[in-house]
Amino acid sequence: MTLLIKNVQIVGGARDFPERSDVFVSGDKISAIGDFPNKGAAAVLDGQGAYLSPGFIDVNTDSDHYLSLFDHPAQEDFLRQGVTTIFGGMCGSSLAPLLYGGLESFQKWGDTNRVNVNWHTMAEFMKVLDRRPLAVNFGTLIGHSTIRRAIIGDALRDLNKNELGVFLRVFKTALREGGFGLSTGLAYVHSRKTPYSELRLLADTTKGSGGVYATHLRKTEAGIAEAVGETIKLAKETCVKTLVSHFVPVIGAEKEYESALAAIEDLPPDIDFNFDIYPSSSSLLPLYTFLPDWVQAGSVDAILKSIKDEWTQSRVKKEMPHLDEEHFVIAQAAGNDFLIGKSLADIKQMYGLRDGRDALLRLMITMNMKGGVLYKNLNPNLIRRAVASKRSFIASNAPSFADAFRGKQLKSERTTKTFTDFLSLVEKEKIMPFRDAIAKLTAEPAKKFNLPLRGTIAEGNFADLVCFRGGEVKFTVVNGKVVMKDGEFQNRFPGKAFRHASRA
C-alpha cells in the first residue's frame, strides 16, 4: 500500500523542508520527502498548502478506564484532533497486570462487568490487544493501585515486607512485558497514605527500566505545592522520568498552584520532569470524589451503604462542599441516561429538594455511584499560562466514546477539542512559538516515552501524520493508513499495541 501526500508545509520534521513538500509513504513508513509531480500511488491526498506534522501523542487518556478501548476501537474523538497515539494506565489504575482477573480499581469510572477479562499478565493483555481492532496506537503504564489492591484489598495500610516483595516481582515482570512505567493515584483513598519509602523503591525500579513515573498528586487543591514538592524530591533522588498528571489550577488554590508551577519551571534541565494539562476550564470527576475522605474508603458497595445510613448521611452532608450547582453537569450515568446533561440545579428541582447536597446524595444513590460529572472549577488564565510552559504536555485526560453513544454520555470539550483548541490558541494568541507547540505534541512526548521512529517527520520513520489548518484537521494517518478524512472515519484499524523496550 502506497500513499502520496502532496503540497504540504511540514512542521515537526527532523530537518527543515521547503515551504511546499510532498511525502511518499510505503507500507507503514515514510519512504521519501521532496517534490514528486509525476509520482503515482495507490492513494493521493492534496494538503493544499496546509500543515503536515507528526501525529499528536496524548500522554493521559481515560479510554482504558471507561473501557471504551474495547467497545469503541475507532477512538474517533482522538483521530478527529490528529491524535495517533494514546497512553492509558494513569492515576494508579491499569488494565494489566491483574493478579486475580478483577478490575476493582476501575469501579470509580464505570461498569466493570462490560468486559470479559481473559488475561492476567501484561504480556497476556498485550496479546489480547494485538487480536482486537484499534485505530490508534495504545501504550499503558502500570497502575500502582491495581497491583496494591490485588495484594491487600481495600485495607488502608503500608505493605509489609513480603507484600512489597510480591509487588516488586509483579511490577518488574509487567515492565519486562511492555509496561511503560508506573502510575500512582495518590489523591485516591486507597493510595493516599502510601509511604514515601514505597514510592522511592518503585521509582528506582522504574528508572532502571527506562520507564516513566506518572503521578496523580496527593493534593490537587489546597496542599498542591507540598504535593509537587514531594514529587520533585522523588525525581531528584531517583532521576526517574517524571510526569505530573492533569496538573490544573483549581479555583481557590491559585496562589499555591502558581508556587508549584514556579518550582517545576525552576528545575535544572537535567531533571526530566513534565506535567500534562488541557486547555479547558472543566474537570471530569467521578461522583464519589465529592464525598468526605473518610467515606471514600472501601468498595463502591461500602460507600453506598454509608451514605444510605440515616445517621451517617447527616454527618456526610455537613462535610460535603457547597457546589456551583449550574456548573455541575452529569456527563455519564450508566443505566440512568435520562440524567445526562442535567445540572445539579436541575437534579435538585427534579427531586423537590432545597439543598444541593441532599440532591447530590440522592443522585449518588440513584446512580449507584457509577458515572462522571463535568464541573467547571478551573482558572482559565492560569491554564493559559501553564499550557505555554516548557515543562507542559497537552493531554485530554478523557475517554473517546462512539457517536452512537451520544445521549448516553455528554462529551466534554476535553474529549473533542483538546488538541485543536490548543493549536488555535497558539496560532491566534501567539502564546508560544509554533514549532515549540508542535514539538510539545509530538517529539517531546515521543522522547519521554521512548517511542523510536515516531514524533518527527523523516524518511524511515513511521507514518503517523496529521494535516491541519487553522485548528481544523483535514486528515489523519496512522501507520501509513488514512483513518480520518474530512471528519469522517475511514473504517480502518491500523493502530498498534505498543510495548516499551524495557531494560528491567
What pLDDT was estimated at residue 504?
43
Quick: pLDDT tens for 90-121. 999 999 999 988 787 787 676 777 788 999 99
The mean of the pLDDT values for the chain is: 93
Tell which wins on pLDDT, 333 or 395: 395
Q: Across residues 66-91, what is the average pLDDT? A: 96
Do strands 472-478 and 465-469 pair parallel, antiparallel, or not at all (unpaired)?
antiparallel
Confidence check: pLDDT of 219 > 50? yes
List residues bridging with 243 in a β-sheet: 214, 274
Going by C-alpha positions, the residue among 120, 12, 65, 8 that lies closest to residue 399 is: 65
Q: How much is the average pLDDT of 355-374?
A: 89
83-88 and 43-46 beta bridge pairing: unpaired
Residue 260 has pLDDT above 70, yes or no: yes
Q: 302: closest CA among 315, 288, 284?
A: 288
Query: What's the mean pLDDT in 31-49?
Result: 94
Distance of alpha carbon 376 from alpha carbon 373, whole angstroms: 10
Residue 278 C-alpha cell reads as 488541557
Say if CB 466 and CB 478 are below 8 A apart. Answer: no
Q: What is the pLDDT of residue 502?
A: 57
Q: What's the whole-number mean pLDDT along residues 372-383?
A: 91
Per-residue model confidence (pLDDT) at position 335:
75
Query: What digits encode the pLDDT tens for the residues 276-335?
Result: 999 988 888 888 888 988 888 767 788 888 889 888 888 998 999 888 899 899 987 777
Grid cell 509489609 is found at 160
Q: pLDDT-derived band of residue 409, with 50, 70 and 90 as boundaries? A: low
The pLDDT value given to residue 110:
67
> What does the pLDDT average to over 61-72?
92
Average pLDDT over residues 470-492: 96
pLDDT bracket for residue 183 (50, 70, 90): very high
Residue whose C-alpha cell reads 447530590 in the numeric block = 360
pLDDT of the residue at 306: 85
Task: Tell me: pLDDT of 265 over 70.
Answer: yes
Residues linked to residue 45 through DSSP beta bridges, in sequence order: 5
Q: Which residue has the cell 497476556?
A: 124
pLDDT of residue 408: 57
Asked if the model's pLDDT at residue 211 lies above 80, the reply is yes
Given a cut of 60, whether residue 151 has pLDDT beyond it is: yes
Contact 116, 164 (CB under 8 A): no
Is pLDDT of 405 > 70?
Answer: no
Q: What percent of the chain has pLDDT over 70?
A: 97
Q: What is the pLDDT of residue 338?
A: 87
Which domains, from first to last, does the chain contain? 2-54+459-489 (2.30.40.10), 56-281+378-448 (3.20.20.140), 286-375 (no CATH)
Contact indicator for 123, 98 with CB cutoff of 8 Å: no
Q: CB under 8 Å to 356, separation ≥6 — which residues? A: 322, 323, 325, 328, 344, 345, 348
